[in-house]
Amino acid sequence: MTVGTRPRAPRARREPASRVPPSPAFVSGAASVALRPALESPRRPARVLAAFPLAVYLEVRSETEPHVIALVTGEGTRLPNAVVLGEPLDGFSAGDDGWVGDGGIEIGGLGITVRRWWDPAPPLAPADPDRTAEAADRLAALREASPRQPGLVPGGAPALLAQGCLSGRLVDAVTAAERLIGLGPGLTPSGDDMLAGLLVALRHLGRAAGAPRAVWLADWLAATVTYDARTRTTPISATLLHCAARGEASPEVTGVLRGVAGHQPLEAAVTRLLHLGHTSGADMVWGVHIGLSAVLSLRERP
């Protein structure tokens, strides 16, 4: 600076104009009551695990289940951990960040508020003994005749699981269940789908048909498959195993149980379940058949 001159005031720094994020578009949805603890707790971060035209799967950063929430359209499968929306699911990608809690979900500029709840484990009315006994053979015939076949082959762990459940031998059933967790490819491996069908069938049909030992077996198997499911299988499948352990399932599965119990036509319900996914439906039908056979066997025992 030259002596006798006034210092020049520094030029004000121009800050870039801040971008105001657009306000989220809000829609309402109908949620499974299995999600009530997650949705009504304080907000927690979440991220998109997988995105499809009819379903988006969110992983909630939580140590409790449900660990994964499925956002589905009315045309998608209403999984027991689902929020059903009337809006299309566009513009989502794996890795997108969001929030879950305080009564809703925010993800990718979409805000979801739960307005209605639905029950993924509706009680099953008492079963018709004659129709339930006939249903076992009919269910096996429908499964074998279907072009949709399970992802697992007979023998091995599935055979041991069936023998253990049929005889009520807990060691065999638990050993087989441990081998099946996470067995097979996909978001929901075939072994998990089979176990899910089995758990729901044992619990609901055991109560409806008066077979308390089948419910007892369901309790033990539920504890086995949920103990370390998060480390043994995919996050989506682990959550569905936790749901099945509580008797929660999609309407396609509960429809088959009602058909087995004699409360609605069986064949149409089995056909709907068999067409679920690539092999998921067929694997679940197999698990339901194992559970039904066990219920029929165990209800005759003290």
The mean pLDDT of 236-254, rounded to a whole number, is: 97
What pLDDT band is residue 302 in, cutting at 50, 70 and 90?
A: low
Question: How far is residue 161's CA from residue 197's CA, in Å, rounded to a whole number?
Answer: 13
Rounded to 10 degrees, what is the CA torsion of 178, 179, 181, 183? 180
Phi, psi of 101 (to 5 degrees): 135, 175
- Helix or strand (DSSP H, E) at 84: strand 82-85
What pLDDT band is residue 186 in, cutting at 50, 70 and 90?
A: confident
Confidence check: pLDDT of 23 > 90: no
Segment among 7-11, 35-39, 154-158, 277-281 with least mean pLDDT: 7-11
Question: How far is residue 246's CA from residue 13's CA, in Å, rounded to a whole number?
Answer: 61
Question: How far is residue 25's CA from residue 112's CA, in Å, rounded to a whole number?
Answer: 8
Question: How far is residue 29's CA from residue 6's CA, in Å, rounded to a whole number?
Answer: 67
Q: 48-62 pLDDT, tens per residue?
A: 999 999 999 999 988
Whole-Å CA distances, 98 to 51, 108, 294:
14, 7, 43
Phi, psi of 129 (to 5 degrees): -55, -45
Helix, strand, coil percentages in the chain from 3-state DSSP, rounded to 5: 45, 15, 40
What pLDDT band is residue 24 in, cutting at 50, 70 and 90?
A: low
Rounded to 10 degrees, what is the CA torsion of 131, 137, 140, 146? -80
List of E strands, 121-203 = none
Confidence check: pLDDT of 222 > 50: yes
Confidence check: pLDDT of 285 > 50: yes
DSSP structure class, residue 33? G
pLDDT of residue 140: 93
* Inter-residue contact 182 to 237 (CB < 8 Å): yes
Does the pTM surpass 0.95? The reply is: no
The mean pLDDT of 123-145, rounded to a whole number, is: 93
Q: 146-181 pLDDT, tens per residue?
A: 999 999 999 999 999 999 999 999 999 999 999 999
Of 220, 205, 221, 204, the residue nearest 136 (C-alpha): 205
* Inter-residue contact 47 to 31 (CB < 8 Å): no
The mean pLDDT of 240-247, rounded to a whole number, is: 97
Q: Using CB atoms within 10 A of its CB, is residue 123 exposed (0-12), middle (13-18) or buried (19+)?
A: exposed
How many CB atoms sit inside 10 A of residue 166's CB?
Answer: 17
For the ranges 4-13, 59-68, 226-235, the maximum mean pLDDT occurs at 226-235
Question: How far is residue 190's CA from residue 153's CA, in Å, rounded to a whole number?
Answer: 10
Residues 6 or more apart whose CB falls under 8 angstroms from that of 49 comprise 57, 58, 59, 68, 94, 235, 236
